[in-house]
Amino acid sequence: MNTNYQQILDEIYAETRPMLGQGRVADYIPALAKVNPRQYGIAIHTLSGEAFQVGDARVPFSIQSISKVFVLAMVFGRIGETLWTRVGREPSGNAFNSLVQLETENGIPRNPFINAGALVCTDHLVSQTSDPLLNILSFVRMLSNNPKVGFNEEVAESERQTGFRNAALINLMKSFGNIENDVDEVLKVYFHQCALMLDCHDLARAFLFLANRGINPWNGEQILTTSQAKRVNALMQVCGLYDDSGEFAFTVGLPGKSGVGGGIVAVIPNLLSICVWSPALNSHGTSLVGMKALELFTTKTGISIF
Amino acid sequence: MNTNYQQILDEIYAETRPMLGQGRVADYIPALAKVNPRQYGIAIHTLSGEAFQVGDARVPFSIQSISKVFVLAMVFGRIGETLWTRVGREPSGNAFNSLVQLETENGIPRNPFINAGALVCTDHLVSQTSDPLLNILSFVRMLSNNPKVGFNEEVAESERQTGFRNAALINLMKSFGNIENDVDEVLKVYFHQCALMLDCHDLARAFLFLANRGINPWNGEQILTTSQAKRVNALMQVCGLYDDSGEFAFTVGLPGKSGVGGGIVAVIPNLLSICVWSPALNSHGTSLVGMKALELFTTKTGISIF
Amino acid sequence: MNTNYQQILDEIYAETRPMLGQGRVADYIPALAKVNPRQYGIAIHTLSGEAFQVGDARVPFSIQSISKVFVLAMVFGRIGETLWTRVGREPSGNAFNSLVQLETENGIPRNPFINAGALVCTDHLVSQTSDPLLNILSFVRMLSNNPKVGFNEEVAESERQTGFRNAALINLMKSFGNIENDVDEVLKVYFHQCALMLDCHDLARAFLFLANRGINPWNGEQILTTSQAKRVNALMQVCGLYDDSGEFAFTVGLPGKSGVGGGIVAVIPNLLSICVWSPALNSHGTSLVGMKALELFTTKTGISIF
Amino acid sequence: MNTNYQQILDEIYAETRPMLGQGRVADYIPALAKVNPRQYGIAIHTLSGEAFQVGDARVPFSIQSISKVFVLAMVFGRIGETLWTRVGREPSGNAFNSLVQLETENGIPRNPFINAGALVCTDHLVSQTSDPLLNILSFVRMLSNNPKVGFNEEVAESERQTGFRNAALINLMKSFGNIENDVDEVLKVYFHQCALMLDCHDLARAFLFLANRGINPWNGEQILTTSQAKRVNALMQVCGLYDDSGEFAFTVGLPGKSGVGGGIVAVIPNLLSICVWSPALNSHGTSLVGMKALELFTTKTGISIF
């Protein structure tokens, strides 16, 4: 296994930069549509305490669905296995199915990484905390060791103004009794968590506890039990990339989570976490260059679970 | 990592035998319903040429959906990537969705391990070979090194007599132009492949090429390219166990494939293949004791990808 | 044809009163659940200016979905055929399908009498009028010739607090661009229109324009064109009673509209309108005694379109 | 009411002939695709024993789904109300929904006029009769008073070769236990009944019993009870024209049944039956000129139920 990470990052960056220009930036909200599509960065944090980076690794971006992992961790750590009475742990189909599935499966979403399932996690958080937005900020600032991490209010507001499908999902779940709180309050938190701004460096660092059996490597705090961390990784493996989950398992072969902001975070248990960001997406909503970069990373390091 | 496999198998067997009696044997066809539910065997083959076993490892059983891996390998090896124009590579939802999905996605099944996708693979085989049943037999006999492997005609006939949902799926795909051959001919082959009889020893052996980058370790024959073998393993990882795929990824963490006959085969790339069989199933149709045995195997060996 | 309406009403009332006690009052909101299920009234208005009634014909009740006809008439009368670009004119399946259908048919509901379609009509009204609630009141007061008709605010508030499925529907349509206004504003109007309180006498009177080619018989005002009135009647005929539309066509054979408050209004074109009310419902949400009363009415009068 | 039927037919024919050339002939099977689209005929039979016709009223055509009324009448007349345990009596949505509905409603189709429901009726017929094809022929020959009525074997064979969606539907119902006989046997009968060849004159005559309270007006035979005939008419009213049922109720306002061969039959209870045929279809699969002709017929005669 090749662990000369800086050299590997430099090689990947050089090899993939010509791909910039391919793909399309998410354009369903103006705040995302105006992002420069040619930005590109990668960062690594290892359990041995090293950090590596290349390109725009310190430029904050909208992490979008990657935030689902943070909220899942916050809620799962608090309430444990009872979480699974209200959300499943199995892969799902596409967006279309989520409405049909909710209908036929009594408002229980398939997993915490489809929007419906993430909304259930956020609803749990709203039930458990008096200031859920502050709680999310504290959690992510602690994990990333960056007290300046914040929400992009413009993005949050844009999400709110266009998030009618999410409103449909949460109201349908509420009609089945699977949402405890006011739907607008839960949606407000949800749209804010999607609008968290982190850079590759901080985001990779914030995921390192998942490579470390649930323990924050910098302060030893147990965020999740070993079993819980393993569960989150397993879920990312089978359904972290929506309709690219099978493709990601094949080409990259690591537990990972993507967001339509163009970020992808992946975890190599007991070794490292890696974050890549480039805003232009493939047809499944995954960062086009990001996916290629991670494929090259597992190839060049010789890491492959298959 | 503990590689004292025989001792590990003996421990697992002793620890899990008390669970026999839990779960229910598949009863949708008489030929499966009458199987003694207390049978239980495990077998391992390593790339270094060793074999280990415990319990009823030499009792043949109906491999059912495990056969989907064989037919996928046969077809994928022949036609390569063009396969994916007629079947997807992503996880799916449950049986319900497969009909809706076929309807809304123009007759293209989500992956080769749901019934609809397996039927597409079988249809390919029927197109490519003059005697598909003989071809399947030859392929499985070669991989298992057992010339006596055969079909259980009673099971095949029972499948045919009750397989109306499979007939609905294949006719719906045919209406979309995604089945080339006569539906009854394809169903005949499909029902026979499900009725293949192998024991744990032979079945583990037959899967070893997937742990060996696609190469049959006994004769060096390239069954699949390295990339193709990795693809099949990735697919087994994300959707090899239907509605237990997420649970299997969490508790076992290996690429695997189950069948309602009670068998599960899993692969540790570059190391070994393992097959466990016990006919009583959990509520998702997976061998109850088999799943526990594989969980203990990865725990005791210290193998975990998460 | 027997037109001795008072005698017929008296006979029907005597014959069907023993059925009181069967069926179940709608209980999804407290304000409806507490209604006395043994109430029962019928009223008729003829185009020749006569009125007949029996039982609790002057007790106001929550008209619920019957209000969809009023809002449809208001909107259809204003914008005419362009209405059909945003809502269909064909029967639909059950509640379940309305979500799937909206999904697969790009947010266009099947007809104005399923909730999704009624919400589109209400959205039109919100777009067209500065005070839609006052407009609805004026319209219904004018048609019923009763200036005291009003909303039951307790019912409207209960609807709002439990109307999550309606919120899911309207948000889904909004995500397709088929709702122009703020969803909460439209829902507020919708929940109020459902909470209109009228008695049988007033409600029958308010529907008489549909038996009179769209003309209000008391003041000669053209509410709808002849063609539009015919269209509304045809729609009531094929889909006015949800999953009882086929049964109603068979047993009653008239254009009609039901509400879960227990009211049913029916129209005999060029002759009369009739309203029956009894709160206890059959398993499809239709007034159990009300349906029987209308069946007897067409039988006893000799009116039958089949 | 204008009852000068011959003059009315002549007027309609003259006014609508210029529309020939619009629409498209069904082309899913060659035997239908090659039909001359400019053919056009109308025929009327009255209960007073008169017959009228214009154009190609004596040219036999493939009656397709119109045959569903015959088989429903045969089965309903034999077994009565128990029919409704296996098929519903309510409108449905489109073809798409029929699969979803069958899935979620345990294999019970919505009504006898969608394909799934018609297949259930045909299955009943296969159960009840030793030679169902001969029975159908005898029934239709008796009603039409034409012993030469027959099946178009070329059409039946084409239907069989392309009827995969029907095969999917019947197999799905069989998997729910709602088909008693061998699916291929039922399909054979179904594809033949669709391939019945009648001309407008004979087809109108064959439907006259539905205008006559279930009694064959020529020999006094009770085909259906009065109630059963009323039921069939009510069903035709609400769901006889698939996705044009609402439009047909509005523009024509009569119980009717269409077929993709371009025929439409309608019934005016206690008065007459009328059949129009012209092969070119609108986008919903209804005869384009036929629908216009029937609209003109109700307008010119002054018959309108709304």
Note whether B240 and B257 are within 8 A (CB).
yes
* pLDDT tier at B96, thresholds 50, 70, 90: low
| Category of B64 on φ-ψ map: left (φ > 0), alpha (ψ -120 to 50) or beta | left
Q: B with D: how many residue pairs have Cβ under 8 Å apart?
A: 47
* Mean pLDDT across chain A: 94
Average pLDDT on C11-23 reads: 97
Q: Tell me what the pLDDT averaged over chain B comes to.
A: 94
Annotated catalytic residue, options D75, D190, D232, D276: D190
Return the C-alpha torsion angle A118, A119, A121, A122, nearest 10.
120
ipTM over 0.90: yes
CATH number at residue D266: 3.40.710.10
Q: Please count the residues of chain C.
A: 306
* Cβ-Cβ contacts under 8 Å for C120 (sequence gap 6 or more): C86, C87, C109, C112, C173, C178, C179
Mean pLDDT score of chain C, rounded to an integer? Answer: 94
* pLDDT in the model for residue C105: 85
Partner-chain contact B91 A238, CB within 8 Å: yes
Using 50, 70 and 90 to split pLDDT, how confident is the model at B94? low
Q: In this model, does residue B93 exceed pLDDT 80?
A: no
User: What percent of chain B is predicted at pLDDT more than 90?
Assistant: 89
Instruction: Give the whole-angstrom CA distance, residue B256 versus residue A88.
Output: 20
Which pLDDT belongs to residue C102? 86
Specify the pLDDT at position A97: 62
Flag whether pLDDT at A101 surpasses 90: no
> Does the structure show a pLDDT above 60 at B169?
yes
Q: How many residues does chain B have?
A: 306
Candidate from A101-115, C93-107, D223-237 with smallest mean pLDDT: C93-107
Picking from B96, B174, B183, the nearest residue to D103 by CB comes out as: B96
Average pLDDT (B216-226) is 94
Q: How far is B210 from chain A (nearest CA, A)?
A: 9
Ramachandran angles phi, psi of A255, nearest 5° = -65, 135
Residues from chain B that touch D103, judged by Cβ atoms under 8 A, are: 96, 99-100
State how far the Cα of B169 lies from the Cα of D171, in Å rounded to an integer.
9
pLDDT confidence of residue D97: 63
Flag whether C306 is in a domain: no
Q: Is the pLDDT at B100 greater than 70, yes or no?
A: yes
Q: Say what the pTM is.
A: 0.94
Residue with tokens 């444990």: A80
Q: At what angle do helices D183-194 and D164-175 cross, to 10 degrees?
A: 140
Q: Which domain holds residue C140?
A: 5-301
Asked if residue C17 is part of any domain, the answer here is yes
- Whether C171 is in a domain gets the answer yes
The residue of A160, A175, A191 whose CB has the most chain C CBs within 10 angstroms, and thus the best one to mutate to test that interface, is A175
Nearest to B164 among D103, D165, D174 (CB): D174
Write the pLDDT tens digit of every residue in A122-133.
Answer: 999 999 999 999
What tens digit of pLDDT does each residue of D224-260 get? 999 999 999 999 999 999 889 999 999 999 999 999 9
Cβ distance C98 to C169 under 8 Å?
yes
Total H helices, total E strands in chain B: 14, 10
The answer to whether position B306 is within a domain reads no
CB contact under 8 A, D91 and C269: no
pLDDT digits (tens, 9 = 90+) for C163-206: 999 999 999 999 999 999 999 999 999 999 999 999 999 999 99
- In chain D, what percentage of residues exceed pLDDT 90? 88
Q: Which residue has the tokens 């085969």?
A: B265
Q: How many domains does chain A have?
A: 1
Do the beta carbons of residue D267 and residue D211 sit within 8 Å? yes
In a domain, A306, yes or no: no
**Chains with at least 3 CB pairs less than 8 angstroms from chain B:** A, D
Mutate which: D1, D90, D209, D241, vs C, most C CBs within 10 A: D90
Average pLDDT over chain D reads: 94
pLDDT band at residue D306 using 50, 70 and 90 as cut-offs: confident
CB contact under 8 A, A249 and B234: yes
Q: Is residue D278 part of a domain?
A: yes
DSSP single-letter state for residue C17: G
Query: Is B171's CB within 8 Å of D167's CB?
Result: yes
Convert the pLDDT of each residue in A194-244 to its tens digit: 999 999 999 999 999 999 999 999 899 999 999 999 999 999 999 999 889
Distance of alpha carbon C285 from alpha carbon C279, whole angstroms: 10
Query: How would residue D99 be classed by pLDDT, with cut points 50, 70 and 90?
Result: confident
The four Cα atoms B22, B27, B30, B33 give a dihedral, to 10 degrees, of -10
Burial call B222-259: b when 16+ CB within 10 Å, e when fewer: ebbeeebbbbbbbbbbbbbbbbbbbbbbbbbbbbbbbb
Between B94 and B194, residue with greater pLDDT: B194
Instruction: Place A102 in a pLDDT band, splitting at 50, 70 and 90.
Output: confident
* D188 CA: distance to closest CA in chain C (Å): 29
- Categorize the per-residue pLDDT at C226 as very low, low, confident or very high, splitting at 50, 70 and 90: very high
| pLDDT tens-place string over residues A172-195 | 999 999 999 999 999 999 999 999
Please report, rounded to a whole number, the percentage of residues in chain C having pLDDT higher than 90: 88
pLDDT at position D92 is: 82
Helices (H), C145-199: 153-162, 164-175, 183-194
Contact call for residues A12 and A39 (beta carbons, < 8 A): no
Residues of chain B contacting D, Cβ within 8 Å: 96, 99-100, 103, 164-165, 167-169, 171-172, 174-175, 183
Q: What is the mean pLDDT of residues C280-303?
A: 95
How does pLDDT run across B27-85, given as a tens digit for each residue? 888 889 999 999 999 999 999 999 999 999 999 999 999 999 999 999 999 999 999 99
- Determine if residue C182 is left, alpha or beta; phi over 0 gives left, psi from -120 to 50 gives alpha, anything else beta: beta
Checking if the pLDDT of A96 tops 70, the result is: no
The Cα–Cα gap between D187 and D203 comes to 23
Whether C192 is in a domain gets the answer yes
Residue D96 above 60 pLDDT? no
Q: Name the residue with tokens 């159990």.
A: C288
User: Residue A242: left (phi > 0), alpha (psi -120 to 50), or beta?
Assistant: left
- Sheet containing A51-55: order of strands: A51-55, A41-46, A272-277, A263-268, A256-258
Average pLDDT over residues A260-284: 97
- Does the pLDDT value for residue D137 go beyond 90? yes
- The Cα A119–Cα A68 span in angstroms is 9
Closest approach of chain C CAs to the CA of A183, in angstroms? Answer: 9
Contact predicate B276/B288, CB 8 Å: no
Residue B47 lies in a domain: yes
Name the residue of chain A whose CA is nearest to C28's CA.
A175
Tokens of B68: 């989907």
Q: Residues in chain D whose beta carbon is closer than 8 A to a beta carbon of chain B?
A: 96, 99-100, 103, 164-165, 167-169, 171-172, 174-175, 183
Active-site amino acid positions of C: 65, 68, 190, 242, 260
Nearest residue of A to residue B229, measured between CA atoms: A306
Between B215 and C304, the higher pLDDT residue: B215
